[in-house]
Structures are given as structure tokens and as C-alpha cells.
Amino acid sequence: MSETRLAVNKTYKLYIGGAFPRSESGRVYAVTDTKDRPLANAPRGTRKDARDAVVAARKAYPGWSGATAFNRGQVLYRVAEMLEGRREQFADEVSAAEGVGRNKALASVDAAVDRWVWYAGWTDKLAQVAGGANPVAGPYANWTTPEATGVVAVLAPRKSSLLGLTSVLAPVVATGNTAVVLASEQAPLPALAFAEVLAVSDVPGGVVNLLSGPLAEVAPWLAAHQDVNAIDLAGASHTAGVASVRDLEIAAADNLKRVLRPEAKEPDWTADPGVGRMLAFTEARTVWHPTGN
């Protein structure tokens, strides 16, 4: 006699401080595919969740920014390894979230893996590009080196659920910053599943914190938070609204956050990323030292 087996549906959770809590409010919202068919419920993050994520990111910052660039590169490479090992799962996640075919979803996952490897290789090389010895008129040696900015809030791209997420998150953590990421409101599930990769990839708890929920409800709190040092508005809209680029920039100005504005149209995330996003969230430290005769 055959038995009908019940499906074990996945419960997606937030990722804060290396743990997987439910939303503080207990609320969820329905996530659908591109044909409006239900996929799952995602946690509806709140102001309290955003605040907890910033606290976790700040706590993790000294250790992560103080780690050697080589060590950060090893950790990022481990992220790539673990993502590669779950390639098939994430192809299913991306295909459902973005409404693309299997081959295109696999290509997107492969590109995300390659991008983590690419940024892993940059961790100990950026100083040679963004820093160096400076000529001065006097008996001094002068050097400039890039350092992390601090806690960076990231509004993930709206359409590219995994490759876009990687393209805005990896440069933040590669340079020693810690991150609070708000996943795409329309396609949050690949990002929330990606938290499981981070949890087993040697990334210290709190270095990356992932939230989900309506942009208009969560983004303003991140933009206005006094302990957030910078914000990437990649997923914000240029059209007027509660979480428009303009409103978020005004909120961010209160504590002089560094702001990375989004392009008018979501970029091609498969293109060569360059070093712009890494440089966007680094500070230049210049050191003077007297030289002997």
C-alpha cells in the first residue's frame, strides 16, 4: 500500500548575528513568481529587526576590519566553494524568483560563484591600487592606505536576486566593512537561502546580516540609523515615494553617511564590476613618518 508523502515546505528566516531569527513582529508576506503564483512566505522585517542587525554588524566590525586581507580573501573564497556545492538548489531558487529558464538560472549562479572568487582575489590587492607612497617636499615618508568605512547598509537590486546581490555585497565585505542587507522585496528568497551559505562559510556572525520586507518599511530606518556609516541604494527607486532615492539620501544626510546612488536603470550585473564599489566604501588613511639623514 503506497503512502502519499507530504511536502516539507521551507520556512525562510532572517539572518542576524549569525543566527536565523523570525521577524520580531512574527509577520510574513507572500512571495510570488513572475506569473503571480505563490512560492513561499518571507519574514516581514521591522524597525527592531533592522536595529538588531546594525548592532550585530557593529559588534562584528572590529574583528572583521582588523583581520588580514589575506584571511578575508580565504573566507570569501569559502563562500564561493559552498555556493558552488549548492549550485542546483540555487538554480531552482533563481529560476522561480526571476522567471528564467534553467540554463539561464545556472549561468546566473555560476556568475555569482565566479564573482565571489574575483572579490576574494582582490582583498589583498586593493591597497596597491588605492594606496601607495606619496612624494612630499621634505624629510618625510608619506603613505596612503585604504581602510574600511564601517557598517554599510545595502539595498539589494530588485531584479537580480543572486548575482545582483553578490555584486553589491561582496565588495562591501571584501574591504573589511560589515553589512546589513535588505533583500529584494519582490524576489527575496534566493537572498534568504544564501544566508545558509554564509552561515557555513567561515564568515563571522554579524559580518553579513540579511533582512527581508517591504522597502518602504525597512529602508528608511537603515538610512536614518545613526550607527550606519554608509548606504548603497542599489535597490531604491528614483520615483517619488516613502523609500525613494531622494528621501533616503535626505535621511542619510543626518549623520553624513556615505551614499552610493543607484543608476537610473538597473545595470547589467554580468558586466565586469571593476573596483568602483570597493573604493566607494573605503577611507584613505595617510601616514607621515620622518626620515633620517
Burial class from Cβ neighbours inside 10 Å (0-12, 13-18, 19+) for residue 72 reads buried
Rg of the chain taking only CA atoms, in angstroms: 20
228: which 3 cell numbers?
550606519
Residue pLDDT tens, the chain, 293 long: 567 888 888 889 999 999 999 999 999 999 999 899 999 999 999 999 999 999 999 999 999 999 999 999 999 999 999 999 999 999 999 999 999 999 999 999 999 999 999 999 999 999 888 877 778 878 878 777 889 999 999 999 999 999 999 999 999 999 999 999 999 999 999 999 999 999 999 999 999 999 999 999 999 999 999 999 999 999 998 887 778 999 999 999 999 999 999 988 889 999 999 999 999 999 988 787 787 65
Give the pLDDT confidence score for residue 37 in this predicted structure: 92
Question: How does 146-159 read in b/e, with b if 16+ C-beta sit within 10 Å?
Answer: bbbbbbbbbbbbbe
CATH architecture of 28-290: 3-Layer(aba) Sandwich (3.40)
How much is the pLDDT for 284? Answer: 83
pLDDT of residue 130: 80
- Provide the pairing of β-strand 282-290 with 258-260: unpaired
Report how far residue 99's alpha carbon sits from residue 112's, in angstroms, rounded to the nearest whole number: 18
Tell me the HSE value of 93 on the side-chain side, using a 13 A CA sphere.
22
The three-state secondary structure class of 226 is coil
d(CA 218, CA 142): 43
Domain limits, the chain: 28-290
